[in-house]
A and B are shown apart, each in its own frame.
Chain A
Amino acid sequence: MNPTIDYHALAPEIVLTVTVAVCLLVDLVARRSELVPRLASLGVLGAIVPVITLSVDGANRTMFGGTYEVDNYALVFKGLFLIVAYLTILVSFHYIGEGDYYRGEFYVLLLTSVLGMTVMASARDLVTIFVALETITIPTFALAAWRKHDTKSNEAGLKYFLIGVISTAVMLYGMSVVYGVSGANKLVGIREYLVDTNEPALFAVGVFLTLVGFAFKVSAVPFHFWAPDTYEGAPTPVTAFLSVASKAGGFVALITIVNIAFFPSKGSWQPVIFVLAAASMTLGNLAALRQTNIVRMLAYSSVAQGGFMLVPLAVAADVSSNSAWEGVVVYLLIYAGMNLGAFAAVIAVARRTGSAEISSYAGLGRTDPALAVMMTIFLFSLAGIPFLAGWFAKLVMFRAAFDSGTTGAVILGVVAAINAVIAFFYYAGVGRQMWFREPDPAVERTAVPTPLTLNAAMLIVTVGVLALGVYPQAIARLGELAFTPG
């Protein structure tokens, strides 16, 4: 018996797959032409169309015996991933085009990774989650090492690869134990098992190892050490992609598996997430304070932001409504936008000065006010200063902690509050260079104009950050919808 396939529900994935194939073929015919990125961006936009029609339709579509589900939750994330992919292509366009890079393959790998993400959003069993996660990760190994002749990029790729495979192995080992104990592969089945039975200690071991595997993927402390090195060595658009899309992919897997499968076994996952959250916020921030390279600073900041995102997850078991889960989703959506914006600005500045040192930002407010204003907006939004979208992300995070009201959650909330203040310090440090300092005459500047695509990406994010900061209801509603059965 053949499984019934709902082609409408699979349309985003199908469009992406076709785009990948077409891009490969076109690249064979026309090497290094601009055609490939154009096709890729069209394909991504084309994939957004069915996401929209599906959300208008609103019905839950379940396939393959319940292992693949297209519901509101999946659609919110598919939308996010596709938009992030589009912005990444905009950001990469000139960077990859101007360097001595393999242009066609770059976009093929990028889109393959995005394909994995859209699958991840719908995955509802262990096998599909694993396959999706690997589809996300394997292309990014190659992307991180993209600059073939640059040993730094080689090193970035190797470190990322090693951490990636080790974390996969650990995660798989955990999953195999979870599967063995519960006898179920589908997440719903695992949950049913947990509701009916008192799980043995072995199950907790399985959960622990699975979570450790995910912690590597989302670079939570103490499994974060690869992130700064990889981020620094990889080409900056790839770094942007890794720190936003790839991280979000990991988070989606984490949310799905905890929310649907592990939820009833609170004791086995909650303490782990709690420790990961507190450690990531604090150590990520403290490490970020010491950085002199902006990419490394943003790497540690994204570790800390990951910690903030874990806070609602850590308290979700004690919150009766869905607000904690919504908190994670809202935080993730907002974080994706502002972090991508920050990296786009880093690329734009590096085009001028050829440097990623924070000190090279001195006087940017004089030499290029528009760019400096946008960078300031992204950084202060990351810091959570109101009327920039970041404040709302922080608010929903605090809200979840206090909604739960347990002593542990309140302590975590206060730790997060203090960390939010510490984080301001290094974000403002860059702002200080840009606005309070004179341009350093020693830094050579080229007067190359920022390419249109890069400007467009930054502008889109700027408008989004400002609009959502003033009217966060729009994104909060998305978060709410994600957990409303369609």
Chain B
Amino acid sequence: MDLNAFLILAAVLFCIGIYGVLARRNGVLVLMSVELMLNAVNINLIAFSAYVQDVSGQVFALFVITIAAAEVGVGLAIVMLIYRNLRSPDLDKIDQLKG
């Protein structure tokens, strides 16, 4: 089994995720990009787990999946909230606070 293939896949997915987070303006799509990043992590964890013959990596992945669900749940709630107040999921319209 070639570990590198999995690592490269994960890295590519992670990068696509980062690109999506930075470039997408729709709240829901940003959330999906975040999911992509987290799943890249999961692939990494499982691949490493198999490679080093240690089960804790798989446990880790299970936790990531669970918590990612909770995170996205809260995230969708916030996007909904904004949609209700602004009638748009477009993140560019959210600019009241200046950094």
Contact = CB atoms under 8 A, between A and B. Distances in A.
A168 interface: yes
Contacts of A25: none
A148 B81 contact: yes
Interface string B39-70: 01100110110011010110110011001001
A318 interface: no
Interface in B77-96: 77-79, 81-82, 85-86, 91, 94-96
Interface in A119-158: 125-127, 130-131, 134, 138, 141-142, 145, 148-149, 151-152, 154-158
B70 A134 contact: yes
The interface residues of chain A, by DSSP majority, are classed as helix
Contact of A149 (B77, B79, B85): B85
Given A142-B77, A149-B85, A169 B48 contact: no
Contact of A161 (B63, B67, B78, B99): B78
Nearest to A149: B85
A166 interface: yes
Given A127-B59, A179-B45, A225 B99 contact: yes
Given A131-B63, A185-B56, A176 B78 contact: no
A152 B70 CA distance: 24
A108 to B, nearest CB: 14
B28 to A, nearest CB: 12
User: How many residues of B sit at the interface, in one of the four size bands?
Assistant: 35 or more
Contact of A158 (B21, B34, B78): B78
B54 A183 contact: yes
B58 to A, nearest CB: 11
Nearest to B47: A180
A284 B45 CA distance: 36
A138 B91 contact: no
Given A138-B74, A154-B94, A179 B34 contact: no
Nearest to B39: A169
Grouping DSSP codes into helix (H, G, I), strand (E, B) and loop, the B interface class, with mixed when no group exceeds half, is helix
Contact of A172 (B41, B72, B94, B96): B41
Contact of B71 (A154, A168, A228): A168
B5 interface: no
A175 B60 CA distance: 10
Given A173-B14, A229-B99, A141 B78 contact: yes
B60 A179 contact: yes
Contact of B97 (A145, A172, A229): A229
A165 B97 contact: no
Nearest to A126: B60
Contacts of A59: none
Contacts of B41: 169, 172-173, 176
Contacts of A142: 74, 77-78
Contacts of A390: none
A176 B44 CA distance: 6
Contacts of A149: 85
Contacts of A130: 60, 63-64, 67
A155 B38 contact: no
A327 interface: no
B91 to A, nearest CB: 7
Given A176-B48, A225-B99, A151 B86 contact: yes
Given A173-B44, A176-B44, A166 B94 contact: no
B79 to A, nearest CB: 7
Contacts of B63: 127, 130-131
A141 B77 CA distance: 10
Interface in A164-219: 164-166, 168-170, 172-173, 175-177, 179-180, 183-185
Interface in B17-36: 17-18, 21, 27, 30, 34
A233 interface: yes
Contacts of A159: 94, 97
B97 A155 contact: yes
A208 B75 CA distance: 27
Given A145-B81, A165-B75, A180-B51, 18 more contacts: A125-B56, A126-B60, A127-B63, A141-B78, A151-B94, A152-B97, A155-B95, A156-B97, A158-B94, A161-B75, A164-B71, A169-B14, A173-B14, A173-B44, A175-B60, A180-B57, A185-B60, A229-B97
10 contacts: A138-B67, A154-B94, A156-B97, A165-B72, A169-B37, A169-B41, A170-B37, A177-B44, A179-B60, A184-B54
